[in-house]
Amino acid sequence: MNLKIVQAGDPVLRRGTRALAAAEIAGPEIQQLIELMRETMRDAPGVGLAAPQIGLPLALAVIEDPGESDETERAPTPFHVIANPRLTLGPETVEFFEGCLSVDGFQGVVSRARTVHVEALDHRGKPVVIDASGWYARILQHEIDHLNGTLYIDRMRTRTFATNRNVGRYLAGAPIAEVVAALTPETTKPGV
């Protein structure tokens, strides 16, 4: 059974979330919710899904990424859960296109930290520490943003916002710096 993914404009995506107690995470209701979120994420398909995206203001997200790409430092990431995460950003940033299951059909270039440190609870309510880089770090930042009422469109370079179709048609394969330069107007010189 797949859960309904709410779309931008639904207030639940902009509110904060409630932290979960360890015993609550290990309980049958949250365990069932985790399984439903996993099925929904896989079916969408997506690489992460936060509880607000299914209408629940809970500090809970599921993540799984089977993809690989040298360009984006993307490597397969097995299924796992983060609850009540605390995020520390590394100093270096990278830009790349991002999409979201709650902003269906669109993408935009977002600057994110290349590395992150996350302290959270896992699917059993046990403490877990994650040090991630590349695409996995981007996924973590994206999902944790959802838990804080932030969407990628709040962080993107607005002039890069495009439909998935047009990203594939006009922008795919081009270096991000070139995409950003092509979509950003040149600064007008005084007196010109």
**pLDDT tens-digit series, residues 26-48:** 999 999 999 999 999 999 999 99
- Distances in Å between the Cα of 51 and the Cα atoms of 11, 59, 97, 172 are 13, 7, 23, 30
As a whole number of angstroms, the distance between CA 74 and CA 61 comes to 19
- Does the domain formed by 11-183 have CATH 3.30.450.40? no
Q: Which of 64, 73, 98, 143 is catalytic?
A: 143
**DSSP per-residue letters across 125-145:** S-EEEEEEEHHHHHHHHHHHH
Read off the pLDDT band of 188 (50, 70, 90): very low
95 pairs with which residues across the strands? 111
> Could you tell me the residue ranges of all domains in the chain?
11-183
**pLDDT tens-digit series, residues 16-27:** 999 999 999 999
- pTM, entire model: 0.93
pLDDT the model gives residue 189: 44
Read off the pLDDT band of 183 (50, 70, 90): confident
- Mark whether 143 is an active-site residue: yes
